[in-house]
Structure 1
Amino acid sequence: MKTMTLAILPSAARAAVLTTALTTVLAGAAAAESWDMPVAYPADNYQTKNDVAFAEDVKTCSGGALEITVHPGGSLFKGDEIKRAVQMGEAQIGERLLSAHANENPLFAYDSIPFLASSFEASDKLRDAAAPVLGKLLESQGMTLLYSVPWPAQGLYFGKEVNSVADMAGVKFRAYNATTAKVAELTGMVPTQIEAAELKQALATGVVASMISSGATGVDEKVWEDLSHFYDVKAWLPRNTVFVNTEAFAALPAEVQDCVKSSAQTAQTRGTAEAASLAQGFVDTLGKNGMKIAEPSDTLKADLTAIGEKMTADWLAATGDDGKAIIDAYKAN
């Protein structure tokens, strides 16, 4: 018996055995790394569920050497604080709608150029085209790009019937990045920056009375309680991007880094497939709960197309050679 064998050893030998065992246990504990991952969206949102699955994959393939705790709904850091928290090392990894930081650098809005990439396939091509430029930009800020997952195509929500841009004049509009604020400006609406966690209250209290977002957000926030019309304009597919603090990542053993990278690729594929499978269901749910679902009128389509062309030109002017490189690579595929 092992216990009996240990008991009959001389006291000095027993101490050596116990010390060795304790050292092994402590070394294993010290090798385990724990990371915090703040995200802005609710725990039951498909983006957050995908992040949780990513964390589970990392724990499994690293043999428990790295454990990532996902903090949903802005509970650890609010949406607009997440990027800086990862950049400063206050959180090791995070997920953020990077287009919300377009005022810092317009390249972050590559995924929000109106009517450039309006399908999941096109969004994936644009993601790949932008990856070298986006990765370099994040690296310059002390972060490493891991993966991104699209939202379903953006539609317009209103509390009334809208058949042209003229019908939007003066409406209070929820903006979540510089692109959406510009849409409001060009349509005569009044933009207010509202993060996802504060959206429901903003709608309920009349702070905003319209927005451009996916069906997923509409379902998450039960917008049929406050708005009545959804126009499926498929303006663009914004992406949630997951990035890691570069120093924290570099401190991991090489095999754990490989594990994180492979899990990230799996998460990107899984999340994209889930978004595509859920997209129509979200719109159907809006309709089942009383919202009027409509295609945009010909007049509204023409108005929005003109706005898209202007915003694309403006974005290219603001981003210079890097923006051109993204668009050229996207169109070449």
Structure 2
Amino acid sequence: MKRNLVFYLVIALLLSFSVLPVHAKTSWIANSVWPPNNLQTIALEKFAAKVKEATGGELEINVSSGGALGYKGPELLKVVRDGLVPVSDMLISGVAGDAPIFQVVTVPFLCRDFEELKMLIDIARPYFDEQAAKWNQKILYISPWPGAGLWTTKKVTSVEDMQGLKTRTYDKNGALVVEATGGTPYALPFSEVYSSLATGLIDSVITSTPTAVDAKFWEVLKYYQPLNITIATNMVNVNLRAFNRLDAATQEKVLKAAAELEQELWDNIAVLDKEKESISNKNGIETVKVSGELMDALTEVTMGIRNDYLEGAPQEAKAIVAEFLEKVGR
């Protein structure tokens, strides 16, 4: 009898150990609307690798690229807020419909080069962090795009040449520039750009060199005008509830990996821009030199856009632009 009792006690003890909670690794899905070879997707993959290494595999981020999860872009603040995905990259100006302060990064012809863009982002970052928190998320890192030029079927050397263009734009400011120069803007997701060019729905695109390479624009377009209409930026955000479930040490490692990657991306963006332009040229795209006269004319014709934006912009955006213009002496 005693022997049987001991036997059952041992079995019960073993069973109790078998149901003890086991420490589980954390796995996040990271959404990217960009194709696998796009610089933003590559950066997100690199971030995931950095995090995995830093945490010894305790936090694993699996990147889903090319918009495979079904999200096209403008709704991504809501998507991350609601935890539909814990992590997503997003075009900052692309989500300005939900948070108007984010439109400040693509005010036309505000930033003239990457150095000025970095200055603008550094000024804006505290305001952006505050806005992200209101949307139940945290900005992990901000990465630049090369400047947005105009890719066309016909050569553009004057504002008059831009009249009548049917141009794909990626945000409100780009659309306003097209309208100001006498064209028609089309707000199309990236996944629909190539087919729209091939069918003649549009005949031009405002975008950066990496995006042009991704889309193989040389198959449907002929010219690239590096107008630097705007210089866009991307941000990678994490749902706050997901982030706060991490222990403090893991959070610190994630933020450290993000800061390191962000610095690397800004250091390399100018070189990447030239590399992507060269690829386009080798495949048949002609880069059209932009004259000072054209830039002066574009600055003049878009002055109303900048003034109208500042008149209706959130106070925080006005403060960002004022501080930026003071620093660059304009």
Return the TM-score normalized by structure 2.
0.90
Q: Distance in 1 between matches of 2:313 and 2:285?
A: 38
2:134 corresponds to which of 140, 149, 152: 140
Structure 1: gaps (5+ residues)? 1-8
* CA contact 1:108–1:134 (8 Å) conserved in 2: yes
My pick for the range that moved more, 269-278 or 106-115, is: 269-278
Deviation at 1:65? 2.4
Q: Distance in 1 between matches of 2:193 and 2:293?
A: 29
1:201 aligned onto 2:195: yes
Q: Distance in 2 between matches of 1:308 and 1:259?
A: 44
Q: Distance in 2 between matches of 1:16 and 1:121?
A: 65
Deviations 1:73-95, CA, capped at 9 Å, x for gaps: 00013222433211111111100
Q: Distance in 2 between matches of 1:144 and 1:286?
A: 36
Residue matched to 1:161: 155
Residue matched to 2:3: none
2:57 corresponds to which of 61, 64, 67: 64
Q: Distance in 1 between matches of 2:54 and 2:317?
A: 37
Deviation at 1:331? 3.7
Residue matched to 1:327: 321
* CA contact 1:106–1:315 (8 Å) conserved in 2: no
Q: Distance in 2 between matches of 1:238 and 1:272?
A: 13
Deviation at 1:142? 1.5
Deviation at 1:15? 6.5
Structure 2: gaps (5+ residues)? 1-5
Deviation at 1:19? 4.8
1:48 corresponds to which of 38, 41, 47: 41
Residue matched to 1:186: 180
Deviation at 1:66? 1.7
1:93 aligned onto 2:87: yes
Q: Distance in 2 between matches of 1:62 and 1:18?
A: 31
1:274 corresponds to which of 268, 271, 275: 268
Deviation at 1:98? 2.0
Residue matched to 1:5: none
Structure 2 SS opposite 1:149: strand
Structure 1 SS opposite 2:313: helix
1:111 corresponds to which of 95, 98, 105: 105
Q: Distance in 2 between matches of 1:224 and 1:10?
A: 77
* CA contact 2:76–2:95 (8 Å) conserved in 1: no
Q: Distance in 2 between matches of 1:220 and 1:37?
A: 20
Structure 1's 57 and 16: CA in aligned 2 closer, same or farther, altered over 3 A? farther
Q: Distance in 2 between matches of 1:61 and 1:307?
A: 50
Residue matched to 1:38: 31
Query: What is the aligned residue count?
Result: 321
Q: Distance in 1 between matches of 2:309 and 2:245?
A: 37
Amino acid corresponding to residue 306 of structure 1 in structure 2: E
Return the TM-score normalized by structure 1.
0.89
Deviation at 1:328? 2.9
Share of identical aligned residues, percent? 32
Deviation at 1:96? 0.5
Residue matched to 2:298: 304
* CA contact 1:228–1:292 (8 Å) conserved in 2: yes
Deviations 1:241-299, CA, capped at 9 Å, x for gaps: 11111122122211121122111112211222332221111111221111221122344
Q: Distance in 1 between matches of 2:285 and 2:56?
A: 48
Q: Distance in 1 between matches of 2:8 and 2:54?
A: 41
Structure 1's 118 and 19: CA in aligned 2 closer, same or farther, altered over 3 A? farther
